Amino acid sequence: MSQASRDSLAQLHTELKATLSAGGVELGAELFAALKVIDDNGALRRSLTDPTVEANRRQELIRKIFATKISAAAVTVLQSLAGARWTTEREFGDAVEEMAATAAVYSAEQDGLDGLKTLTQQLLEFNRSVESSHELQRALTEQQAPVSSRGDLAANLMSGAAMPAAKLLVRQAVEQPRGGKPVDLVRRFADLSAQQQRQWIADVTVARPLQQAQRDRLRKSLSATFGRELTLNVETDPQLVGGIRIQVGDEVIDSSVASRLNDLNTKLAG
C-alpha cells in the first residue's frame, strides 16, 4: 500500500475505532459482504476512487447503493473510506477488508488480552492444519467447487469452541481470498490481532531489575494511565544507565539517561 493510502487508513482507524468496536463481528460481516459487491463491480470501484469526483458525491454513491442493504454503522464506515483518497482501486478494497477484519478483532478484545491471544492462536492453528495437508490446500482453493462449499469445509476444520471472529475471518479468507492464498490472508488477519495485543502489553526496559513491589506499582500506574489492565513485559538493559523506557503499542515514554544524552548530543550536533 502506498504511503498516501497508509496515511488515510491510519487516520480512519482512529476516527472509526468506536464504531468498529461497537459493531463487532456483525459489522465485520457486513463490510466483507459490501467488499464483494465492490470487488465485483469495476465501474463502482472507479467511481469510489476517482480523485476528480468530490468526496461528498462518492459518499452519496455509497448511501444509494448500500443504505437499504446494510446497517447504518456499516454505511458510515464505507462513506468514511469513500471520502478519503486512495492511490489505487485495489488499495480502497484493501482498506475495506482491513476495516472489516478490525471490527472482528475488536469483538475478541471484549475479553481483553486473553481474547486477542485466543483469536490469534485459532487463526494460526487453522493455517497449520491447512499447510500440513496438500489435499486440504487443493480443496480450499479448488475454483470449480462452489464458494460456499469451500467456506463450509474451512468452518468444519475449526473446533466447535472457535470464536465467532475466527470463524468469520477464516471463511472470508477462503471464500474471498482476492487473488491470493487463503492461508496468506488468514495470516494477515492474525497479524492484525497480534498488533492489537500490543495495546495491552507494556514493554518496559530498565537499567536494573525491578522488585516485585515496584512491578506491581508500575503496572497499576500504567493501567490507570492507559485505561486498561496492562501486562508488563520487563527487560533489563544496563546501557540505559538509569531511568526507564516504556512502550505501549506505538506510544513511547522514555525517561532514560541514555535517551537524554542522545537528545543532548543531537542538539549539540545541530
| The C-alpha cell that represents 258 in the structure block | 541514555
Q: Which of 170, 197, 224 is the last residue of a domain?
A: 197
Q: Which of 197, 215, 247 is the last residue of a domain?
A: 197
92 lies in a domain? yes
The residue length of the chain stands at 270
35 lies in a domain? yes
Kindly state whether residues 50 and 179 are assigned to the same domain.
Answer: yes
Q: Closest by alpha carbon to 149, among 124, 183, 117, 174?
A: 174
Kindly state whether residues 146 and 255 are assigned to the same domain.
Answer: no
C-alpha–C-alpha distance, residues 200 and 179, integer Å:
33
78 lies in a domain? yes
The answer to whether 195 touches 123, Cβ cutoff 8 Å, is no
104 lies in a domain? yes
202 lies in a domain? no
pLDDT at 157 > cutoff 70? yes
Kindly state whether residues 142 and 237 are assigned to the same domain.
Answer: no
Kindly state whether residues 117 and 182 are assigned to the same domain.
Answer: yes
124 lies in a domain? yes
pTM as predicted: 0.80
| 251-254 and 244-248 strand pairing | antiparallel
Question: CA 140, 146, 152, 153 torsion: positive or negative?
Answer: negative
Confidence at residue 259, expressed as pLDDT on a 0 to 100 scale: 56
Kindly state whether residues 146 and 262 are assigned to the same domain.
Answer: no
Domain count across the chain: 2
Which of 12-16, 71-75, 211-215, 231-235 is least confident?
231-235
Neighbours of 30 (CB within 10 A): 22
Tell me the mean pLDDT in the region 203-214. 87
Kindly state whether residues 216 and 261 are assigned to the same domain.
Answer: yes
Kindly state whether residues 134 and 215 are assigned to the same domain.
Answer: no
DSSP 32: H
Tell me the mean pLDDT in the region 246-258. 76
Containing domain of residue 56, as a range?
A: 3-197
With cut-offs at 50, 70 and 90, classify the pLDDT of residue 267.
very low
Classify burial at 136, counting beta carbons within 10 Å of its beta carbon; exposed 0-12, middle 13-18, buried 19 or more.
Answer: middle
Question: CA 33, 39, 42, 46 torsion: positive or negative?
Answer: positive
With cut-offs at 50, 70 and 90, classify the pLDDT of residue 269.
low
Kindly state whether residues 136 and 243 are assigned to the same domain.
Answer: no
Confidence at residue 258, expressed as pLDDT on a 0 to 100 scale: 53
Task: For residue 255, give the amino acid letter.
Answer: S
Q: Which of 169, 197, 225 is the last residue of a domain?
A: 197
